[in-house]
Amino acid sequence: MNDPSWYPPPVDEPTHPGETTERSLRSLEDLEHLLVATSRTFALAIPLLPQPTRREVTISYLLFRVADTFEDAAWPVARRIEALESFAALLESAEITQVTEAARQWAAEVPCEQAGYRELLAELPFVLECFFRLEPAAVALIRTHVLRTARGMAGVVGRMDEQGQLRLADLADLQHYCYIVAGIVGELLTELFLLGRPGLEEVAAPLRERSRPFGEALQLVNILKDSAADATQGRSYLPEGVSRAEVLELARRDLRTATDYVLILQRAGAERGLVAFSALPVQLAHATLDRLESGGAGSKLTRPEVFAILQRLHRALDSGEPAVTDPSEPIPAVWTTG
């Protein structure tokens, strides 16, 4: 249900553009505190979005992060699956006693090093309150996609061995994994961008067509970037028998599609915030992939490098230039042709 009885009606939320209240400001600040505590790139990108999409995407990210925390928890396989299924049940029919008790147990028990993740689990009742205060159409979209990811993750965890290790079979299996944890995110973002924006209806089909590789590209780059650190913790998302060069090529191909996605938005006259939010992680992924392919020391971009990329993005938007380009490719046809 979209509006559980234990959440008060959203009478104190802004009702007109630019209108704010003490509660709405405090809610947004608290949500974004949790965002900063659990994210790096998205904490930088989400504030670029216009409202109400900014709030919708913030809440979506936090809910996806809860599912991701359970997938990665240092628990036995059965315990991880149980947590993912319980989380999905809360999204479908939240009840205050169940949410509060589950949040308390998860915050105390989930074995993870990140204090921000534990704080997020403890604040799950607040996040769900904000979630159910969204417009019903947004609630329905977010719930559907987060449920798909949570249940998909439960299936992935169910494939792990007794030591909690996942063995991906081939490149198609890797793509399927990336779809569950990131491709679905790309699909949700696209639906939230289109929600209440009839001016984007003409490009809805090409955006939806590219939404899956948009999300998958960012996940593939993260897997490549973190592969050495993952190996030290006994994890590997790179399939045996698949060369690193093949995965790099797949990531590069998906990033080209992600670049097209951003430029379609830009050419369609989408709000600057939608374009900037979509372009920033793609630009960061291009820079990271370039470093990985060149074999340079370290794959993680420094804060000054990230800041420089953000400044270049704003300059491009100011001057009407493409918001994102692949340094290894000419400007894509979706930008140069009408």
Q: What is the pLDDT of residue 97?
A: 75
Distances, alpha carbon 232 to alpha carbons 164, 226, 235, 288, in Å = 14, 10, 7, 21
CA dist., res. 62 & res. 54, Å (int):
12
Which residue ranges make up each domain of the chain? 22-161, 167-338
Which of 138, 142, 106 has its CA nearest to residue 125?
Answer: 106
Q: What is the pLDDT of residue 102?
A: 86
Q: Work out the angle at residue 201's Cα, subtended by the Cα atoms of residues 197 and 203, and round it to the nearest 5 degrees.
A: 120
22-161 and 167-338 have identical folds: yes
Please state, as a whole number, how many other Cβ atoms lie within 10 Å of the Cβ of residue 52. Answer: 17
CA dist., res. 21 & res. 19, Å (int):
7
Residue 323 tokens read as 């918001």
Q: What is the pLDDT of residue 331?
A: 59
Burial of 127 (0-12, 13-18, 19+ CB in 10 A): buried
Distances, alpha carbon 140 to alpha carbons 49, 91, 131, 252, in Å = 20, 10, 10, 33
CA dist., res. 66 & res. 70, Å (int):
7
Output the tens digit of pLDDT for each of the chain's 338 residues. Answer: 333 333 333 333 443 334 444 445 567 789 989 999 998 888 899 999 999 999 999 999 999 999 999 998 888 999 999 999 999 998 987 676 788 888 888 888 877 778 899 899 999 999 998 998 999 999 999 999 999 999 999 999 999 887 778 889 999 999 999 999 999 999 999 999 999 999 999 999 999 999 999 999 999 999 998 887 666 666 778 888 899 899 999 999 999 999 999 999 999 999 999 999 999 999 999 999 998 888 754 578 888 999 999 999 999 999 999 999 876 666 565 655 54
Residue identified by tokens 């998909």 is 152
CATH class held by domain 22-161: mainly alpha
Q: What is the pLDDT of residue 49?
A: 96
Look at the domain 167-338 and name its fold: Farnesyl Diphosphate Synthase (1.10.600)
Q: What is the pLDDT of residue 21?
A: 44
User: Taking the chain, what is the end-to-end CA distance rounded to the nearest angstrom?
Assistant: 44
